[in-house]
Amino acid sequence: MGILVALLVLSVLIFFHELGHFTAARFFGVQIDVFSIGFGKRIWTKKIGKTEWSLSAIPLGGYVKMKGQDDTDPTKISYDRDSYNTKKPWQRIVILLAGPFANFLMAFLLYLAIAYMGVPKLLAYVGQVTKDTPAYQAGLKKEDKILQINGVNIKYWEEIGKQINASKGKITLVIERNRHLK
């Protein structure tokens, strides 16, 4: 499962990177022949306008193939008006830098979104309880919900440590187990 999530996150990063190149190239009038996420055998392809959108078998990269940009066969290099090769050097630099810029922009926007929404608070449910720990010795079990510590109501996980550290001596817990108070 972790590998699939990592590949999904990587594919999203690659998509936005390549979208940066794509957007800048289209802004300067360059025709895009192929926009692909991944390498190798194509799994899915759809032609929209003059651009072929593709998902390929190995999702560890991607590319935007612009008209006139063919390093493997010099006879296929195009000097048409909508070709990458006819653009001014500063325009080509902008097109090349637009990919990394899109990644920085995405990171900045995600940071703003997280800062705006805040980090969700975890409820006071017990996860794994191992032997030789205070939780095990207190009789806590996985999925117990801690409701009170020494008479103080507990709503979020971070409050547990604060209440335990503030306690002197014996600690009294009120927990909910299988929807019953203990």
pLDDT tens figures, 104-114: 999 999 999 98
Sign of CA dihedral 115, 117, 122, 123: positive
* Active-site residue identified among 18, 52, 159, 176: 18
Whether residue 15 has pLDDT greater than 90 = yes
Over residues 19-36, mean pLDDT: 96
Tell me which of 40 and 73 has the higher pLDDT.
40
Q: Examine the fold and report which residue of 117, 150, 170 is the final residue of a domain before the chain moves on.
A: 117
**Residue from 91, 80, 84 nearest 32 by CA:** 84
In a domain, 128, yes or no: no
Q: Domain check: are 36 and 77 in the same one?
A: yes
Q: Domain check: are 144 and 66 in the same one?
A: no
Q: CATH number for the domain including 172?
A: 2.30.42
- pLDDT category at 128 given cuts 50, 70, 90 is confident
In a domain, 162, yes or no: yes
Q: How many domains does the chain have?
A: 2
User: So what's the pLDDT on residue 173?
Assistant: 86
Enter the tokens of residue 136.
């095990």
Q: Domain check: are 149 and 71 in the same one?
A: no
Specify whether the CB–CB gap between 64 and 25 falls below 8 A: yes
- Is 158 annotated in the active site? no
Specify whether the CB–CB gap between 33 and 52 falls below 8 A: yes
3-state SS class at 67: coil
Over residues 85-91, mean pLDDT: 93
User: So what's the pLDDT on residue 135?
Assistant: 83
Q: Domain check: are 138 and 112 in the same one?
A: no
Q: Domain check: are 30 and 81 in the same one?
A: yes
In a domain, 55, yes or no: yes
Q: Domain check: are 54 and 138 in the same one?
A: no
Q: Domain check: are 160 and 92 in the same one?
A: no
In a domain, 174, yes or no: yes
Specify whether the CB–CB gap between 98 and 24 falls below 8 A: yes
Which residue range is the domain that position 175 belongs to? 134-181
User: So what's the pLDDT on residue 179?
Assistant: 72
Specify whether the CB–CB gap between 154 and 176 falls below 8 A: no
Q: Domain check: are 109 and 153 in the same one?
A: no
In a domain, 122, yes or no: no
**Residue from 51, 54, 7 nearest 26 by CA:** 51
User: So what's the pLDDT on residue 30?
Assistant: 95
Strand 152-153 and strand 145-149: pairing? antiparallel
The helix or strand, by DSSP H or E, that contains position 149, with its residue range, turns out to be strand 145-149
pTM: 0.66
In a domain, 127, yes or no: no
Q: Domain check: are 93 and 175 in the same one?
A: no
In a domain, 126, yes or no: no
User: So what's the pLDDT on residue 180?
Assistant: 67
Tell me which of 135 and 119 has the higher pLDDT.
135
Q: Domain check: are 92 and 151 in the same one?
A: no
Q: Domain check: are 86 and 169 in the same one?
A: no
Q: Domain check: are 144 and 113 in the same one?
A: no
Alpha-carbon distance of 31 to 83, in angstroms, equals: 6
In a domain, 168, yes or no: yes
Average pLDDT, rounded, for the chain: 88
User: So what's the pLDDT on residue 182?
Assistant: 63
